[in-house]
Amino acid sequence: MPEAQSQETKKPKVLPKPNSDFYQTFQMLSEAEQQTVSKVRAFMETSVAPVINDFWAKDSFPFDLLPGFRDLQIVGAGYDGYGCAGGSNLLACYIAMEIARIDCSFATFFGVHSGLAMGSIFLCGSEEQKKKWLPPMARMEKIGCFGLTEPLVGSGTGGGLTTTAQRDGDTWIINGQKKWIGNAPWCDVSIIWARDVADNQVKGFIVENKTTPGFSVEKIQNKIALKVVQNGLITLNNCRIPEENRLQQDSSFRDTAKVLRMTRFLVGWEATGCQMGAYENTLRYTQQRLQFGKPIASFQLVQDLLAKMLANVTACQCMVARTAQLHAEGKLNDAHAALAKAFTTARMRETVAWGRELLGGNGISLDYQVARFFADAEAFYSYEGTYQMQNLIVGKAVTGLSAFV
Ligand SMILES: Cc1cc2nc3c(=O)[nH]c(=O)nc-3n(C[C@H](O)[C@H](O)[C@H](O)COP(=O)(O)OP(=O)(O)OC[C@H]3O[C@@H](n4cnc5c(N)ncnc54)[C@H](O)[C@@H]3O)c2cc1C
């Protein structure tokens, strides 16, 4: 063997760094937007990633990280005015994906506050309500939650809410329970959806958690997914809410659905971020883990699963990118959002399961990250409308026939 060649074979091979943006979708953002997302990436990698497993294991929320997160000035991304971060819709989506790439719980905390709670006020509130509530929420002085699901009504919220609102002069009396509500055990403001007993229509109310008599929250225990997010069972017992806190641009579930349409396709972005995190951690592991004297990444069957993981990630990125364009053009409908949520979360379940598999025994240990993505994916798959509900929405749109019971 010539000398030069033999020396070359002795050098340790430099392997490519894991990169989950294979089709360079990041370049769809403007330069300024890329800088914002890079800031989010740096915060998530240096402040959240090193500590998040401990919080996950203990079912607790990292409150100490909130000041640094607030300083990123990304709350209310995609909303113009009212002290919100603004920017393009694509930027808001990228931020959600980037947060989920490191931690799905943190993405959920952010999605509930900036997406569901602030989005309800942004889309369904009057000018006065937006001016009053959005600036302090954008500054994270007030954190929000979104109460739609009930103990006995989940998928059927469109037709069967049991929480009632009864008008009494200038106030509304609200009674009922809301289950699974993210951020509820510690946040300040709840958007509560209730059925007006007078016209049987769903209406939205801004409820102040800490000062409303009759409002109580019990933390939901023993979860196996998104353990960092604090979910609550809210009880409203004769809560009196002023008419000025009823969302003025909301008169039926059709308006509530506007909020869900926006946040559902954002869950598609989060599900894509979850896969990116699982893929990158898995690839890194397979490049380092030796079996039979070689990195397991050099085995054909391992590369097959890595390629399939990357294909899922890339397909989802391209799909959600198009939903963001449709949203920006005002063309995103319920079926578009539902298809993206269903597809990305189904692919996510495959991707995280292949990642878990490629880590062998370490795939069930929190210490190697992939197990957290694997567990958290289960909540993404079910929340904001289950897979079946999304496909029923798509089925109705494409067949013209409703299969809802
Ligand atoms: C971690 C987490 C966080 C959440 N955060 C929030 C929150 O912040 N705010 C909020 O309001 N809610 C929240 N949710 C609730 C979530 O949106 C609901 O769990 C979800 O909509 C499903 O409702 P369900 O759990 O009652 O299931 P069900 O509606 O009881 O469904 C159970 C199963 O039956 C299937 N099914 C039901 N009806 C049909 C049908 N007609 N045809 C075919 N299949 C059907 C479903 O697809 C599912 O597989 C959260 C849930 C979780 C797990």
In whole angstroms, what is the distance from residue 6 CA to residue 15 CA?
19
Testing ligand 1's pocket by substitution, the residue of 378, 383, 393, 404 carrying the most ligand atoms inside 8 A of its CB is: 383
For the chain, what percent of residues have pLDDT higher than 90?
94
Find, among 232, 253, 76, 40, the residue nearest to 159 by Cα.
Answer: 253
Q: For 246-304, what is each residue's pLDDT tens digit?
A: 999 998 999 999 999 889 889 999 999 999 999 999 999 999 999 999 999 999 999 99
Angle (CA) 120 121 124, round 5° = 75
> Once rounded to an integer, what is the mean pLDDT over residues 117-143?
98
Q: What are the b/e assignments for 19-45, b being 16+ CB within 10 Å?
A: ebeeeebeebbeeebeebbebbbebbe
From the CA of 184, give the closest atom in ligand 1: 8
From the CA of 404, give the closest atom in ligand 1: 41
How far apart are the CA of 246 and the centre of ligand 1, in A?
Answer: 25
In whole angstroms, what is the distance from residue 260 CA to residue 258 CA?
5
How far apart are the CA of 379 and the centre of ligand 1, in A?
Answer: 10
Find, among 157, 351, 146, 150, the residue nearest to 253 by Cα.
Answer: 157
How far apart are the CA of 385 and the centre of ligand 1, in A?
Answer: 6
pLDDT at 172 over 70: yes
pLDDT at 358 over 60: yes
**What's the pTM value of the predicted model, to 2 decimals?**
0.96
Helix ranges (DSSP H) in 175-299 = 253-288
Q: How many residues does the chain have?
A: 405
Provide the pLDDT for residue 10.
Answer: 67
How far apart are the CA of 150 and the centre of ligand 1, in A?
Answer: 9
1 pLDDT tier (thresholds 50, 70, 90)? very low
Provide the pLDDT for residue 8.
Answer: 53
How far apart are the CA of 378 and the centre of ligand 1, in A?
Answer: 12
Testing ligand 1's pocket by substitution, the residue of 153, 386, 388, 393 carrying the most ligand atoms inside 8 A of its CB is: 386
Inter-CA distances, 107 with 77, 110, 285, 291, 302, Å: 14, 5, 24, 35, 29
Tell me if 111 sits within 8 A of 269, measured CB to CB: no
Provide the pLDDT for residue 9.
Answer: 59
pLDDT at 2 over 60: no
Give the mean pLDDT of the chain. 96
Pocket of ligand 1 (CB under 6 A): 112, 145-149, 154-155, 180-182, 226, 231, 379, 382-386, 388-389, 405
pLDDT at 5 over 70: no
How far apart are the CA of 156 and the centre of ligand 1, in A?
Answer: 9
Of residues 358 and 404, more confidently modeled: 358
List CB contacts of 382: < 8 A, sequence separation 6 or more: none
How far apart are the CA of 210 and the centre of ligand 1, in A?
Answer: 27
Q: Of all protein residues, whose CA lies closest to atom 30 belonging to ligand 1? A: 154
Backbone phi and psi for residue 11, each to the nearest 5 degrees, phi listed first = -65, 135
pLDDT at 147 over 60: yes
> Once rounded to an integer, what is the mean pLDDT over residues 110-122?
97
From the CA of 389, give the closest atom in ligand 1: 47
In whole angstroms, what is the distance from residue 190 CA to residue 242 CA?
14
How far apart are the CA of 147 and the centre of ligand 1, in A?
Answer: 13
Q: For 173-197, what is each residue's pLDDT tens digit?
A: 999 999 999 999 999 999 999 999 9
Q: Which of 156-160, 204-208, 235-239 shows the lowest per-residue confidence on average (mean pLDDT)?
A: 156-160
